[in-house]
Structure formats: structure tokens, C-alpha cells
Amino acid sequence: MDIGIPKERRDLDLRVGLGPKSAGALVAAGHKVFVQAGAGAGSGFGDEEYTAVGARIAYSAEEIYKRARMVCKVNTPSLDEIEQLESGQVVCSFAHLAAASPQRFAKLREKKVTAVAYEMLREPSGHLPILRAMSQIAGRLVPQIAAALLQSPPGQGKLLSGIPGIPPAEVCILGAGEVGHNAARALAGLGAHVTVLDMAEHLAEMDRIFDVPGRLRLMYAYPDEIAKAAAFADVFVGAVLLPGERAPHVVTEQMVRSMRPGSAIIDVSIDQGGCVETSRPTTLRDPTFVKHGIVHYCVPNFTALVARTASRALSNVVRPFLLRLAAGPESLVRDAELRPAVPLYEGRVLDPRLGAAHGVQTESLAEGA
């Protein structure tokens, strides 16, 4: 199969869909890999590293989309990129289609694209390995972002860790998954007071594995408890995940109004629509806005802040899946592990959650495959 790796188009996003070693593994398996010139430069991968493993350099995104049967990206395609797609192409990326605009979703269907959603790829154990890797990075980035948001201006001018005699910041994390655990561990290690909200099973697991005793408070994620946590938080982290679905607004606008002026919200769920009612997507260049006196950080692709780490992690974990996908779109019919990560197959909506989010009818892959 001919496989293309274009440059990412989002402003300041220097990640790349596949590193040289994984590209080389695809070449060694008999596939042709085309890499847009300079696509890996921002992640520390030179064109010569790709050519050394047998990949070929293409000098424009247009050439990539013309040559490739399967396109490997990080971000879901923009409207401009969708226009360049050829009918029937396979696009592998973080898709988050339940939160996609109606216009972009309709264009993908019109182009009869097959979308492979990285955030939905599962191992036999049920784990989501690609999402897990990015969530680990996101969680460990949260303290860096929180510390910057607390600085004045526009924040409270509070030191995350505090000093002797001056208490540390209060950080509340809604969601005890990979993002929540990694954020809590890193924040507590820096000296912040950390509260994690979730339901009983996840809280018990957090209590069992957390290795920074005395700095963690656990609360049930009931609406009244969320409201209480928001009211005392200096930083509130939204890390709610429903794979394949739009994130629910569990933090209401009234809860946001109750927060102290200068407090901050980091809505990590924004790539799935956001779990805070007042959130809206922002960008790496302009990452924050203030509403009701609260600083909101809502960057969907903020793991691009560490482009080299993120690209290396993505490339390593996605390699075995791409080797299976490269057998051809028909592999999606045969492979029971890959099939749930295909919300769109040649423009047809397969995932009932996606169909419900956009009000369209879903089909079974077996019906017309």
C-alpha cells in the first residue's frame, strides 16, 4: 500500500504522524511511504532519517494526498485537507468525530473517506493504547500549564507549590482516568493540594495506586460535590472521557460563576467538545480566554507543546496497528480489534454513538463491505 505522511496544518503544531523507525517498519513490510518534506522537522526528525529507512520525500501536501491510499496524521483533517482527499482514502488520526462540526463531518462522508480513529483503537485487554499514551503526556503537562495560569496576570499570582507558611494551590481534577492520574501524581509531587473527583470504582483504584500519601483528597463526582470542589479550586481540570462520544457538560456555568476570580480551568476534554459549559476551543497561539473572571485554557491539541515526545510516543504505539491496516481496507472487515475504531467506512457511519451525535442513520460494516 502507498502510505502518506503530510505536515500537520494546525498553527504551531509540530508533531508528525509517523517517525522514521515506524516508517521504516512499513517499508520493510513491502509498503511505499511518502513523507512531505520537513514534516518531521519540528519533532526532531530530518528528511534524511526517513530516506535512510526507504521512505520517499514528497514536496507538497497535494502530492501526498494524490499518491497515498492511506494517510497517517495526528490531527483530524481540516476542511482544506478534506478537499484534497481522494474518494475512498483511509485517514488514520485522532478523529473526535462526535464533536466535529456538521460541515466537516458532511465533507468526510461526501468524500467517502474511511476514518480510523486513534482514540478508539483497543487492545484485546480493552485498553486504549494510543489514547493512553497521549493522555499520559496530557496529564503530565497539566502542572506546567496550571503553574503558568496561576501567575499574574491574568491569574491569582499564586505559587503552585506554596512555601513554608504560605499554602499551596488547590487543584481539583474531574476524572480519575489516565489524564487525571498522571496530573494528580505530578501535581502532588510538586506540592499542590490535589482533589480528584470520580465515581467509587475509579476512586478506589486511585487510592490503591497513588504513591504520594497525604496530598490527595478523593470526592464522588456528584453535581453537589463538583460544585463544592469548583468553589474552592484555584485550578479546575476537566478530564472526563467517554470514548467515541461527545463529552457531557458536567461543570455548569453556575459552577464556573462560583469560582474565585483569577482561578483557572483547564478543559482537557475539549477535543471531545469539553466538559465545562463555558468552554470553547482555543489554539496554541491564543490558548486562553476569560469568562466570569475565570481563565479558561481549552486547547484541543496541547500535547503539541512537547512535539518530539508526543510524536515519538504516537509513532511507537501506532506502529503495530498501521502494519495491520496496511493490508488494505478489507482488513477492517476481518479484524475484530480494528473494526470498532472505524467510525466511518467509505463515507458510511458505522458507530451508533457517532450517528446519534450527528442525527444520521448508521450501517453495519457487513451490510455493504
Hunting for cell 451508533 — which residue is that?
A: 352
Q: Is-catalytic flag, 47?
A: no
Hunting for cell 448508521 — which residue is that?
A: 362
Contact 179, 239 (CB under 8 A): yes
The total of other beta-carbon atoms located within 10 Å of residue 366's CB is: 8
Report the 3 state secondary structure along 44-55: CCCHHHHHHCCC
- 96, 181, 202, 296: the catalytic one is 96
Q: Is-catalytic flag, 193?
A: no
Q: Is 329 helix (H, G, I), strand (E, B) or coil?
A: coil
Contact 25, 85 (CB under 8 A): no
Contact 64, 7 (CB under 8 A): no
Residue type, 280: R
Question: What size, in residues, is the chain?
Answer: 369
- 13, 198, 271, 351: the catalytic one is 271
What is the full DSSP assignment across 224-253? HHHHHHHHH-SEEEE----TTSPPP--B-H
Contact 89, 68 (CB under 8 A): yes
**What is the rounded distance in angstroms from the CA atom of residue 68 to the CA atom of residue 142?**
36
**What is the rounded distance in angstroms from the CA atom of residue 341 to the CA atom of residue 351?**
9
Region for residue 359 given its phi and psi (left: phi exceeds 0; alpha: psi -120 to 50; beta: otherwise): left
**What is the rounded distance in angstroms from the CA atom of residue 83 to the CA atom of residue 110?**
10
Give the phi and the psi of residue 193 in degrees, each rounded to 5. Answer: -85, 125
Which residues are catalytically annotated?
96, 271
